[in-house]
Structure 1
Amino acid sequence: MRLVIARCQVDYAGRLTAHLPMAPRLLLVKADGSVSVHADDRAYKPLNWMSPPCRLTEEPGVWTVRNKADETLVITIEEVLHDSSHELGVDPGLVKDGVEAHLQELLAAHPDTFGEGWTLVRREYMTAVGPVDLLCRDAAGGHVAVEVKRRGEIDGVEQLTRYLELMNRDPLLAPVQGVFAAQQIKPQARTLATDRGIRCVTVDYDALRGMQRDDLLLF
């Protein structure tokens, strides 16, 4: 990965045009060929970028990035304040935190959490775009893909949607329903899941672990 901090202006030409006036910015060039331009705000979101496959051509004071669609990102550099490269190696990928991993393990041991007569077929059922946390059968014998999160957000619903699209192409599995299970599910994620026919289940982690609640309940 290459990190360049420079005073620069940026001009994009393609499906539309965009211009960033001269200012200090971070230019990020990744090993996958992508080039992105960042300001000191907006969290992780770049001001402008070019996704791979693309080609970076460097000339004195000017970077030109061009992709297969012939879109261009021209970065005019007035002054370079920092320029360094770092070899990050192969990323091991996202590892679930202890609570989320244990939650998946508990739900695998207790598939009847989702309904009477449910059984587990397999944990980490592999698809072409990654493993589904749990593959189950409901009481009627139908396949159900279950995505387990500690906190349910829109990204998790999108992830499960991709799994379902692939699994429903397999005649040995289809039709496959989806369940989005989490300790907390954000309203936006619940709305999106419902719109896509995915059932949401809020899971009580402590109850699954067999722990009694400290607070007093009226009912």
Structure 2
Amino acid sequence: MRLVIARCQVDYVGRLTAHLPMAPRLLLVKADGSVSVHADDRAYKPLNWMSPPCWLEERPGVWTVRNKADESLIITIDEVLHDSSHTLGVDPGLVKDGVEARLQELLAAHPGALGEGYTLVRREYMTAIGPVDLLCRDGDGRSVAVEVKRRGEIDGVEQLTRYLELMNRDPLLSPVAGVFAAQQIKPQARTLAEDRGIRCVVLDYDELRGAESDDLRLF
């Protein structure tokens, strides 16, 4: 990765035109060839960028970045304040939230928490649009797709719905029921899930890992 801080102006020429007047900015050149222009705000979002595949041509005072669509990002540099390169290596990728990943692991070890007679078929059952957290069978031997979340929201229900639509086309699995399992489930998500025939299960993390709950109990 190359980091360049420079006073520059930026002109984009392609399906439309855009202009950034002269100002100090961060120019970020990644190993994949992408070039992005950042200001000292807007969090991660660049002011302008060119995604790979693209090619950077450097001449004194001018960078020209082109892609296959014949679009150009022209960066005119007045003054370079910093220029450094760093090798980051291969990134291991995003790791799921620890509690969510642990919930999935615990449910795989104790599928009975989802219902009487439940057994695990496979964790991370792969479909054409991504992996279902758990594929189980209920007490009657029917297939059940389980989506596990720390906090159950509408997006999670939509995700499980897409998995179910796809899995129910497979005659070896069909009919496939759905279970939406989370430590907390928002009322809107529960309403949507139940409307689509998806059963909701609220999980007790402490109970699953064999610890005593902090809740006060009469018995």
**TM > 0.5:** yes
1:16 Cα deviation from its structure 2 partner: 2.8
Q: Which residue of 1 aligns with 2:107?
A: 107
For 1:26 and 1:146, how far apart are their aligned partners in 2? 44
Q: Which residue of 2 aligns with 1:48?
A: 48
For 1:13 and 1:192, how far apart are their aligned partners in 2? 45
Superposed CA RMSD: 3.8
1:8–1:206 Cα change, 3 Å:
same
1:120–1:11 Cα change, 3 Å:
same
Q: Which residue of 2 aligns with 1:67?
A: 67
1:85 Cα deviation from its structure 2 partner: 1.0
1:8-42 deviation line (CA, Å, top 9, x unaligned) = 12222333332222221111111111111111222
Q: Which residue of 2 aligns with 1:82?
A: 82
Q: Which residue of 1 aligns with 2:57?
A: 57
1:103–1:71 Cα change, 3 Å:
same
1:135 Cα deviation from its structure 2 partner: 2.3
1:158-208 deviation line (CA, Å, top 9, x unaligned) = 876886787677664567666554434678988998999977654321232
Say whether 1:125 aligns with 2:125. yes
Normalised by the length of structure 2, the TM-score is: 0.74
1:97-150 deviation line (CA, Å, top 9, x unaligned) = 543332111111233444444331111334577654322235665544434343
Aligned residues: 218
1:70–1:160 Cα change, 3 Å:
farther
1:81–1:107 Cα change, 3 Å:
same
Q: Runs of 5+ in structure 2 lacking a partner?
A: none
Q: Which residue of 1 aligns with 2:213?
A: 213
For 2:9 and 2:191, how far apart are their aligned partners in 1? 41
Q: Which residue of 1 aligns with 2:134?
A: 134
For 1:84 and 1:162, how far apart are their aligned partners in 2? 45
1:45–1:168 Cα change, 3 Å:
farther
**Secondary structure at the residue paired with 2:102?**
helix
Q: Which residue of 1 aligns with 2:17?
A: 17
Which shifted more, 64-73 or 28-37? 64-73
1:200–1:35 Cα change, 3 Å:
farther
1:20–1:166 Cα change, 3 Å:
farther
1:197–1:73 Cα change, 3 Å:
farther
Which shifted more, 105-114 or 42-51? 105-114
1:63 Cα deviation from its structure 2 partner: 1.5
* Percent identity of equivalent pairs: 87
Q: Given residue 183 of structure 2, which amino acid in structure 1 is its aligned partner? A: Q
**Secondary structure at the residue paired with 2:19?**
strand
Say whether 1:29 aligns with 2:17. no
For 1:147 and 1:72, how far apart are their aligned partners in 2? 44
Which shifted more, 198-207 or 153-162? 153-162
Q: Which residue of 2 aligns with 1:6?
A: 6
For 1:193 and 1:15, how far apart are their aligned partners in 2? 42
